[in-house]
Amino acid sequence: MNKRITLRDKTFELYIPEKKIVDAISKMAVQISDDMRDKNPLFVGILNGAFMFVSELMSKMPPTCELTFAAYSSYHGTKSAGIVEELLPIRGKKHDRPVILLEDIIDTGLTMQYVTGRLRDEGIKDVRLATMLLKPGSLKCDLKPDYVGMEIDDDFIVGFGLDYDGLGRTSRDIYKIVEQPL
């Protein structure tokens, strides 16, 4: 575990070690399993950032669970553009069953508000949202995830699937940006 990493022009310091992340995801898996007992949910991993979260969570779920992926984009560099673009639509039978969206991080909440609203407009009655990380201080809409691994401050972070311009995703720890003095 490195205390600091440098990605392109930014330096990041250790923020959340892997063990704390995995423990939070394990607790979430128990909650979801209890809530979904005898239901047939469709799990939807939101790419690209959620791939490590999805892998960790789904490894703790029964092998009978169905998983698919979707991709949406609203980020460029370290800032959200505020416009949601669908890159890969949700595949799989989603009607007449709960749909659980698996997101790496919710900061403004606008992307997941868009996706959950769109699913409800399509007639999905039970749409749930699970996020590894939530930045409550950054929310710009009334979005309440059903399952939250950890709440964090409004820092730009990388690791465990999260990236800075494509880098940093593969770290098992999470790092936050170090503001450079001017």
Write out the catalytic residue numbers. 107
What is the spatial distance between Cα 89 and Cα 87, in angstroms, rounded to a whole number?
7
The DSSP secondary-structure symbol of 162 reads B
3 state SS of 153? coil
What is the spatial distance between Cα 71 and Cα 54, in angstroms, rounded to a whole number?
13
175 in Cβ contact with 158 (< 8 Å): yes
Pairing mode, strands 99-106 and 127-134: parallel
3 state SS of 44? strand
The secondary structure of 66-128 as a DSSP string is EEEEEEEEEEETTEEEEEEEEEE---S--TTS-EEEEEEEESS-HHHHHHHHHHHHTT-S-EE
